[in-house]
């Protein structure tokens, strides 16, 4: 038992392990994630309905979205943004590796008679001959990627954008990093049964990596028949560090906001959004 507890509380190197795909594709947790997505009143897997409505309205105005504007939404989930953008007559593609979310998004598009191209795939592996006016990655998905993955992602964005195309994404800030604390917690059926329909015990270890500005929520889920670990990494950025990553891949950040609804940028905001133009 001592060795098991030692392993549970062990601090890995930043981005040493990657388990995001397991989180989104597991039969039980993907259903729970979809429920969070579709809860219009909370900001969990997706932002609340009022925010999404404001965000889409701002995006349409800022980027001049209309008929034939080609948009790709990476990490589209159940289509909360893609549906709204398609209703503005944009040419929309949604990419996500949750089969359950993509199925829901396709059913919504069919019900509303919207033509939306949905691709069920890890967006790190997504490729297409199509080129886009706008690529979005919303709900701080970019922060969950390692430095190598982020470089790959930005290179992909650069290839998939038209000559004058833009990227819109949001990230967690250094201010949010400063507000996090390291914790170690234990709970029976942690997160109200989120991890399994079977009985289980859950350990949470939150680690901070000050030099890298990275946090890790390490979940160890112990069921009768198995033990598994889920690593939720989050990179935090300053405008300068994010700008450097974009510039290295051929982008220039044109504007900063406090969110993807166009709120004025504030240095103490826990998140911030960027609009970057392909050079």
Task: Encode pLDDT of 137-177 as tens digits.
Answer: 999 999 999 999 999 999 999 999 999 999 999 999 999 99
Residues contacting residue 252 through CB under 8 Å, at least 6 positions apart: 246, 276, 277, 279
3-state secondary structure at position 130: coil
Domain positions in the chain are 27-172+237-278
- The 10s digit of each residue's pLDDT in 6-31 is 999 999 999 999 998 777 778 888 78
Instruction: Specify the fold of 27-172+237-278.
Output: Rossmann fold (3.40.50)
* Residue in the structure block whose two tokens are 């990093």: 177
Question: Which CA distances in Å does 83 have to 4, 63, 230, 275?
Answer: 46, 17, 30, 21
- 26's tokens: 């597991």
Secondary structure letter of residue 264 according to DSSP: B
CA atoms within a 13 Å half-sphere pointing along the CA-CB vector of 97: 15
pLDDT in tens, the chain (279 residues): 899 999 999 999 999 999 987 777 788 887 877 777 677 555 554 678 899 999 999 999 999 999 999 999 999 999 999 999 999 999 999 999 989 999 999 999 999 999 999 999 999 999 999 999 999 999 999 999 999 999 999 999 999 999 999 999 999 999 999 999 999 999 999 999 999 999 999 999 999 999 999 999 999 999 999 999 999 999 999 999 999 999 999 999 999 999 999 999 999 999 999 999 999
Cα-atom radius of gyration of the chain, to the nearest Å? 19
In angstroms, rounded to a whole number, what is the distance separating the alpha carbons of residues 157 and 132? 9
% the chain with pLDDT above 90: 86
Secondary structure letter of residue 158 according to DSSP: H
> Shortest CA distance to 268 belongs to which of 174, 154, 144?
174
In angstroms, rounded to a whole number, what is the distance separating the alpha carbons of residues 51 and 167? 19
The pTM (predicted TM-score) of the whole model is 0.94
């Amino acid at each position: 038992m001592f060795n098991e507890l030692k392993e549970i509380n062990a601090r890995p190197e930043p981005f040493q392990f990657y388990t995001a795909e397991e989180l989104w594709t597991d039969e039980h947790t993907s259903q729970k994630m979809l429920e969070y997505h579709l809860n219009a009143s909370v900001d969990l897997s997706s932002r609340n309905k009022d925010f999404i409505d404001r965000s889409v309205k701002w995006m349409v105005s800022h980027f001049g979205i209309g008929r034939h504007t080609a948009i790709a939404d990476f990490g589209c989930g159940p289509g909360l943004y893609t549906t709204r953008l398609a209703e503005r007559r944009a040419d929309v593609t949604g990419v996500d590796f949750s089969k359950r979310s993509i199925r829901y998004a396709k059913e919504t598009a069919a019900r509303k008679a919207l033509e939306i191209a949905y691709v069920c795939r890890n967006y790190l592996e997504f490729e297409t001959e199509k080129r886009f006016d706008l690529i979005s990655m919303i709900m701080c998905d970019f922060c969950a990627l390692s430095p190598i993955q982020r470089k790959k992602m930005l290179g992909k964005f650069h290839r998939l954008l038209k000559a004058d195309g833009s990227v819109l994404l949001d990230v967690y800030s250094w201010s949010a990093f400063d507000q996090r604390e390291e914790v170690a917690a234990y709970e029976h059926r942690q997160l109200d049964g989120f991890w399994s329909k079977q009985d289980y015990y859950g350990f949470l270890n939150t680690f901070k990596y000050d030099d890298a500005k990275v946090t890790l929520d390490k979940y160890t889920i112990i069921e009768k028949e198995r033990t598994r670990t889920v690593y939720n990494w989050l990179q935090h950025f300053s405008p300068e560090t994010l700008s450097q990553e974009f510039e290295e891949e051929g982008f220039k950040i044109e504007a900063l906001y406090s969110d993807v609804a166009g709120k004025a940028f504030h240095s103490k905001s826990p998140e911030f959004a960027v609009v970057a133009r392909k050079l």
